[in-house]
């Protein structure tokens, strides 16, 4: 079996593309060669991406497009990629990023990561909504089988796209081995390098409306007079961030809130590990990778009780209604003031995170390949 793999959103450049789907592409590509065994993998990637070892793949096809020019990338994906698939004599094509090219010469599988743009259309740019709402519906009809990253996204796909649940396989995401509790020495060096000795609450995620950062800022403003903590927001600017910055200005929290922008994969485990608490009050997630990354680093977690997040967090986090600012503030306060609860969450979080591995993601993905290719 020869499988084509769309990695056009894989990027080595700093920015929001390195999280979410970017991490999925990177880590799945690292795990797939072992899961595939003697089967072959041909990867189609942009010119700003490269794997650790191209020798692991049958082919590494580098397109001239990049992730920072979506119209050109999309045009290449739909016009040139089917020709490349024919040239490479593929038995199966994996559309890894919600969509599939037209006119593929072989059966196909598509991964749907989330349907936030259908649940919350006002929270994405209009052009993005128009493209994805059309492209995802088309891909769900063309694909021989569909992979979702959670049971919650599977349920959304059945409800919002009318897909037969028998055509969908769930393959949860994994946690990379770099996410583990840092040593005391590494933490001390990190805190010194960051010129901070203040305790902090950490939030990680691209800056976009569904991450609910205005709600988090209002909750922190309630809590701030009673705790010594700062709030650290780690994440790259994505889209429609005006309300986030306006809320921050209006609350006048001064030096109590720090926005780091994009953080490298090497530094991110240290940001997790040095935090007293991780909070992820998102309104909607397809999976919620930062939750299990934080758990793997031994940090107690407060997250939302909606979409995929209860499925991912289980009973190893405090779950709150993300639309209720008082509930978010209460969840933060409970963990910060209850040492026994914090200790329990640190332990149960690590146990929970250990269930999610990229090897299992790859194994489930390859099982779908083999079922479709025959």
pLDDT value of position 52: 56
Rounded to 5°, the CA angle 94-96-97 comes to 140
Span between the terminal Cα atoms of the chain, in Å: 9
The C-alpha atoms of residue 35 and residue 320 are separated, in whole angstroms, by 37
**Percent of the chain scoring above 90 in pLDDT:** 70
153 and 201, same domain (yes or no) = no
Average pLDDT over residues 202-211: 91
Q: Are residues 275 and 288 in the same domain?
A: yes
Domain that holds residue 235: 184-353
- Dihedral (CA of 155, 157, 160, 164) sign: negative
- The answer to whether the CB of 279 falls within 8 A of the CB of 317 is no
Among 61-75, 285-299, 342-356, name the one with the lowest average pLDDT.
61-75
Q: Which residue has the higher pLDDT, 58 or 71?
A: 71
Q: Find the helix or strand (DSSP H, E) in which 337 lies.
A: helix 325-337
pLDDT at 17 > cutoff 80: no
Clarify whether residues 341 and 363 are in a common domain: no
What does 265-310 look like in DSSP terms, one character per residue?
TTTHHHHHHT-SEEEE--S--SS-HHHHHHHHTT--EEEESSTTHH
| Domain CATH number, residue 345 | 3.40.50.2000
> Mean pLDDT over residues 1-21, rounded?
78
pLDDT band at 15 (very low <50, low <70, confident <90, very high): low
What element of type H or E holds 52?
none
Tokens for 369, please give them. 């390949």
Residue 284 lies in a domain: yes
Burial class from Cβ neighbours inside 10 Å (0-12, 13-18, 19+) for residue 185 reads exposed
pLDDT of residue 135 exceeding 90: yes
| Least confident residue range of 113-117, 121-125, 205-209, 246-250 | 121-125
Same domain, 92 and 198: no
**Residues 27 and 135 reside in one and the same domain:** yes
Residue 336 sits in the same domain as residue 252: yes
Q: Is the pLDDT of residue 54 over 70?
A: no
**Is the per-residue pLDDT at 20 higher than 90?**
no
Could you tell me the strand order of the sheet in which 318-320 lies?
A: 257-261, 230-234, 200-204, 277-280, 301-304, 318-320
122/27 same-domain check:
yes
Is 179 within the bounds of a domain?
A: no
Please state the rounded mean pLDDT for residues 22-51. Answer: 88
């Amino acid at each position: 079996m020869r499988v084509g793999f769309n990695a056009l959103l894989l990027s080595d450049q700093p920015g929001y593309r390195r999280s979410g789907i970017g991490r999925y592409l990177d880590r799945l590509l690292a795990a797939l060669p072992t899961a595939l065994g003697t089967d072959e993998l041909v990867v189609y990637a942009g010119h700003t991406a490269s794997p650790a070892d191209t020798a692991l793949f049958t082919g590494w096809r580098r397109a001239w497009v990049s992730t920072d020019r979506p119209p050109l990338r999309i045009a290449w994906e739909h016009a040139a990629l089917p020709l490349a698939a024919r040239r490479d004599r593929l038995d199966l094509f994996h559309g890894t990023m919600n969509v599939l090219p037209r006119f593929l010469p072989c059966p196909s599988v598509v991964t749907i990561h989330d349907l936030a743009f259908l649940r919350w259309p006002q929270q994405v740019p209009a052009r993005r909504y128009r493209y994805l709402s059309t492209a995802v519906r088309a891909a769900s009809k063309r694909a021989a089988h569909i992979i979702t990253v959670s049971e919650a996204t599977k349920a959304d796909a059945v409800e919002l796209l009318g897909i037969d649940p028998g055509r969908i396989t769930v393959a949860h995401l994994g946690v990379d081995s770099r996410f583990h509790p840092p040593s005391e020495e590494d933490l001390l060096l990190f805190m010194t390098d960051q010129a901070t000795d203040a305790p902090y609450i950490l939030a990680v995620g691209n800056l976009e409306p569904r991450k609910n950062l205005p709600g988090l800022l209002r909750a922190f403003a309630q809590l701030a007079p009673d705790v010594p903590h700062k709030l650290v927001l780690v994440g790259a600017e994505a889209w429609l961030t005006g309300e986030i910055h306006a809320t921050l200005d209006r609350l006048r929290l001064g030096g109590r809130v720090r926005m780091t922008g994009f953080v490298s994969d090497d530094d991110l485990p240290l940001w997790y590990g040095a935090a007293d608490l991780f909070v992820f009050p998102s309104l909607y997630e397809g999976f919620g990778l930062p939750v299990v990354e934080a758990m793997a680093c031994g940090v107690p977690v407060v997250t939302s009780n909606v979409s995929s997040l209860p499925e991912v967090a289980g009973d190893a986090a405090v779950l709150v209604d993300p639309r209720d600012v008082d509930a978010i503030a209460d969840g933060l306060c409970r963990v910060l003031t209850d040492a026994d609860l914090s200790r329990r969450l640190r332990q149960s979080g690590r146990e929970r995170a250990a269930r999610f591995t990229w090897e299992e993601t790859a194994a489930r993905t390859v099982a779908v390949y083999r079922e479709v290719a025959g």
